Structure 1
Amino acid sequence: MTTDPTAGPRICLALPTNRPCADTVAAIGEEAAHAAEHFGAEVHLLILDSSDEPTFAVHAKAVAALPDVPGVVVHHLDEARQRSFLREVIHRALAAEPDALLDLMLPDAVSYGACTNRAFLFAAALGCTSVHRRDSDSAYQLLDDRPVFPIHHELRSIGRRAADAAGAVTEAPLAPVHADKPVAVVGSSFVGELSVDIGEIRELDEAAYYEVVGLWAPTDATDDQRRELVDDSFVGAGTEPFTADRSVLDLPDIWRVDMCNLALDHQVYERVPLPPATDTIGSDYFLLHVVRDATLPGVVHNRNIVNYYTPERRTGPGFTAYQLRFTKFLLSMLYLHPVYAFMEGAAEALLDGEHLVRADAIAAAVRRSTDADRAENLRRLAVLDRRYRRLGGKYAEFADHLVPRRQRLLDEAQADTEDFARLIEAWAPLVAAARATGLDRAAR
């Protein structure tokens, strides 16, 4: 299918998945069509599919059933095709340790950061100016039986000069000093179940929930700060249904934005990637901190997506795998909080004269954090052990599962941070190589 590149922005609407989601494929196809028909966008619907072969075949049928809409191009890529593209990009970038870099981009294990980093490189290859990410375990709200698409707000603002985007929102309290900066992120949250599947802990023992979730706070947080963090964590927008549009242009409140409902401008993700940590929830939220701390404008709206849980999270192996990802998330905070603190302190100094993020400063901060004392992570593991054993049942079994893995988990948290620094340092050549590799190579 050919499109007219002068018709509107060229965007990447990305759906990474490793699970059955044919209904989501159909729904995101509707959103892509909406973007093309109502905004004149050239939409590259990118489905990065790590599912097994039978599931991939079901998804392929769902893709084939999508209507042929002018301005929409669908790329449904299995891991073999993704790997081929990445090898070409890494080779063209003349990257050191190419096999290790390929593992960071396409690991054997689940990585929320890596799958989104792949979307960023494909977007560069496709010539897109923004990435709009959705998740396979989410759906759109309805108003008058019609889906409420977040892309409505995303395409009205993303990448535009903030002063020019002010007319596209319902509120614009952004300080005039930021008016010339581009809108770097447009996002909203979700309604429905918690974004992290730990609600059962709160039902069983509220005190345990507060102590466990509070483990991701900075070590110097006060009790009030820790409690406020727990109250705000993973709850999204609650259960309030969509009735009318609201949107705010400001330095974005990243607590009101979820990665299943997000658009990022290329000037952000082409400068800094996401942490490629495996089996770690939350590894894909780093760029939200970068945008906020660097004082880049954003739009937060209320077209919240519906979050739901897929059944495997609550099976025996699925429960263990998910709780392990939550544990690794808590351990990652030892290394990420110092980086967040550095970025918050640097503020606008994180930007160069063209309002571009200084990736070298962030890479240096990540490298410095790898020397953090592991004592705090030992404490986190001890708290998890104590609380999970008191909860009993499958939680006590998970505590037993962690005991022989503690040293490995401590080592992995540090190694993940070292890998992140390496990836930031390699990122600019990878993006340039992806762009040079081009549309045809990315699309086949």
Structure 2
Amino acid sequence: MRRICLTLPTNRACAATIAATGAEAVHAAEHFDVEVHLLILDSCDSATYEEHRAAVRGLVPHPRVVVHHLDEDDQRDFLRRVIDRSGAAKPELLLRLMLPNAISYGACTNRAFLISFALGCESVHRRDSDSRYQVADGAWVFPIHQELGSLGLTAEEASRSVSETALAPENLPRRVSMVGSSFIGPPSVDIDEIAALDNDVYHDIVSLWAPLDHSPEQKRELVEESFRGAGQAEFEQDRTTLCLVDPMRVDMCNIAFQDVHRRVPLPPATDTIGSDYFLLHLVRHAGLPGVLHNRNIVNFHTAERRTDAGFLAYQTRFAKFLLSMLYHNAVYDALARAGDTLLDDGGQVRAAAVAGLVRQSTGLDPADNHERLRRLDTAYRVLGGRYATLADHLGARHHHLVEEARSDTEDFALLIEEWEPLVRAAARTPMRGSEGGGRR
């Protein structure tokens, strides 16, 4: 019987999502020969944490579902022991990259990766707290049903049970390292208000995540596809495609990894939307098989983003995403050129090769990022109102933001280089302080 980790990182109240994810864990245990470790990584305040404890206590018990509800103190204790055991030369820096004092989409998932190794799990299945499952014929549509049907099989084995295979014959002996789908509902990035105010400004802003020298047609196509997920089409019946999965067709609220997360972590950048999508690109460009399914999750936006403080924080995270793409776009292009030379003889990703490409990108001229911020400033001032306030906020931090995008990329290269010792250490480090842990 294999162990799997179904993880829900959260920094917001989400008792209903905890209950639903618990039901998905039970579904997996009842339909597959697995022991499910439901891992809730909780970065909420103490009152919200207590609400989540109550939600954990209310989960339906199952003999093959083990629940781990960890606050940040629990997570920090585990990370310190892992980092010390790894023999890292810069333990405090690594701890900061793994558990920063700010929001980091990549870091929270990296913590789930390391904890899953401590729990002896073969795969990690990630969900988000601002999403929920579709319902069809009165039952929740759980993505894990498709994830466990293919993950870890050779592509040739997986091809016997999918709806369609779109994979070159030379990739069939490789194992399926990723299974994913997308979302329906509002866009994944909360910027629809900009489109409603001025569609031309929306185009100008969203196109900034493309290389600045892309053609107008390339930028238009990118804008049309960006952040829309699977649109509004509700689930009717399963459709699965074995392929090299297009990162634009999956979302990190609806993803599962096997093997690849042992080799390369996610970027630990703070306050940066999209910092957790790197592995989607790596899997595709390295020629690792994946399965794309249509059990899309329902996305929703929290009210906090509509407050003045929440708006400023969220839109700053979006601006930092745009700046990060100077480096990520260069790395993605380099990964595409490298192709399956990124793999070793065993078909696994060569982490050193990836780290080298990431580190090489930090030498790029930051001029394009200065230009991105200038164009953002112009666009936000056209919109006026609180977008003008946002422009003032970003303008005051202009040079710091440009430098931070570069230093975030340096940190990522370092973390990739340290990842293998961390993984080995995590596999030998016992868990403790697991609130709500034990069989349920």
TM class, shorter-length: over 0.9
State whether residues 178 and 283 of structure 2, in contact with CA within 8 Å, keep that contact through their aligned partners in structure 1. yes
**Which position in structure 2 is the counterpart of 1:148?**
141
Query: What residue number does 1:11 align with?
Result: 4
Aligned residue among 297, 308, 312 for 1:305: 297
Give the CA deviation at 1:67: 1.3
CA displacement 1:254-312 (0-9 Å, x = unmatched): 211000000011x1001000000000000000000000000000000000000000100
Show the counterpart of 1:25.
18
CA distance in 1, matches of 2:161, 2:84: 42
Equivalent residues of 1:113, 1:284 under 8 A apart: yes
- Once residues 73 and 434 of structure 1 are traced to their aligned partners in structure 2, the CA distance between those partners, rounded to angstroms, is 19
TM-superposition CA deviations, 1:308-334 (whole Å, max 9, x none): 001001110000000000000000011
Q: Look up the match of 1:195.
A: 188
Q: Is the CA contact 1:338–1:369 (under 8 Å) kept in the aligned structure 2?
A: yes
Measure how far apart 1:441 and its partner are.
Answer: 7.7
Q: Aligned with 1:270: secondary structure? A: helix
Q: Aligned partners of 2:166 and 2:51: how far apart in 1?
A: 46
Q: Does 1:272 align with 2:264?
A: yes
> What's the offset of the Cα at 1:173?
2.1
Partner of 1:354: 346
Deviation at 1:442, TM superposition (A): 7.2
Contact 2:42 2:69 (C-alpha < 8 Å) held by counterparts: yes
Which residue is equivalent to 1:159? 152
Q: SS state of the match for residue 249, structure 1? A: strand
**Contiguous gaps of at least 5 residues in structure 1:** 1-5
Query: Aligned equivalents of 2:182 and 2:396: distance in 1?
Result: 37
Structure 1 residue 375 corresponds to structure 2 residue 367 = yes
1:326 equivalent to 2:311? Answer no
User: In 2, distance between residues paired with 1:327 and 1:57?
Assistant: 34
**Separation in 1 of the partners of 2:404 and 2:162?**
43
1:263 aligns with 2:247: no
* Structure with higher RCO (Cα < 8 A, 6+ apart): 2
Q: Is the 8 Å Cα contact of residues 274 and 285 (structure 1) preserved in structure 2?
A: yes
| 1:294-443 correspondence to structure 2 within 5 Å | 294-438=286-430
Q: 1:174: how far off? A: 1.5
Runs of 4+ in 1 over 4 A off after TM superposition: 439-444
How many Å separate the matches in 2 of 1:441 and 1:80?
A: 9
Correspondences of 1:71-86 after superposition (within 5 Å)? 71-86=64-79
216-225 or 322-331: which moved more?
216-225
Q: Which amino acid in 1 is paired with 2:275?
A: S
Matched AA of 2:82: V
SS at match of 2:67: strand
Whether contact under 8 Å (2:178, 2:290) holds in the other structure is yes
33, 38, 43: which one aligns with 2:36: 43
TM-score of the superposition, structure 2-length normalised? 0.98
- Give CA-to-partner distance per residue, 1:165-205, whole Å, 9 cap, x none: 11221111212111110101100000000000001111111
Q: Which residue of 2 aligns with 1:3?
A: none
Say whether the 8 Å CA contact 1:14–1:132 is kept in structure 2.
Answer: yes
CA distance in 2, matches of 1:440, 1:398: 43
Equivalent runs, 1:119-130 vs 2, <5 Å: 119-130=112-123
**Residue of structure 2 equivalent to 1:233:** 226
Percent identical across equivalent pairs?
60
Helix, strand or coil at the partner of 1:437: coil
The correspondence for 1:185, drawn from 156, 159, 178, is 178
How far apart, CA to CA, are the structure 1 residues paired with 2:160 and 2:9? 32
Q: Say whether the 8 Å CA contact 2:69–2:434 is kept in structure 1.
A: no
C-alpha separation between the residues in 2 aligned to 1:389 and 1:147? 44
Is contact 1:137-1:309 (8 Å) kept?
yes
Matched residue, 1:223: 216
SS where residue 263 of structure 1 aligns? strand
Does structure 2 conserve the Cα–Cα contact (< 8 Å) formed by 1:112 and 1:276?
A: yes
Please state whether the residue corresponding to 1:428 is helix, strand or coil: helix
* Structure 1 residue 40, shift from structure 2 partner: 2.2
Residue 171 in structure 1 maps to residue 171 in structure 2: no
**Hey, what does 2:201 align to over in structure 1?**
208
| CA-atom RMSD in angstroms | 1.1
Question: Equivalents in 1 of 2:164, 2:395: separation in Å?
Answer: 51
**Partner SS state of residue 167, structure 1:** coil
Maintained 8 Å contact 1:85/1:442: no
* CA 442–365 in structure 1, closer or farther in 2 if over 3 Å, else same: farther
The secondary structure found in structure 2 opposite 1:340 is helix
Structure 1 distance, partners of 2:95, 2:431, is: 20
* Structure 1, 304-313 or 430-439: larger mean CA deviation: 430-439
Query: Could you tell me how far apart the structure 1 residues matched to 2:215 and 2:260 are?
Result: 32
Deviation of 1:417 after TM superposition, in Å, equals: 0.6
The residue that corresponds to 1:132 in the other structure is 125
TM-score, with structure 1 as normaliser? 0.97
Q: Which structure 2 residue ranges, 5 or more long, are not aligned? A: none
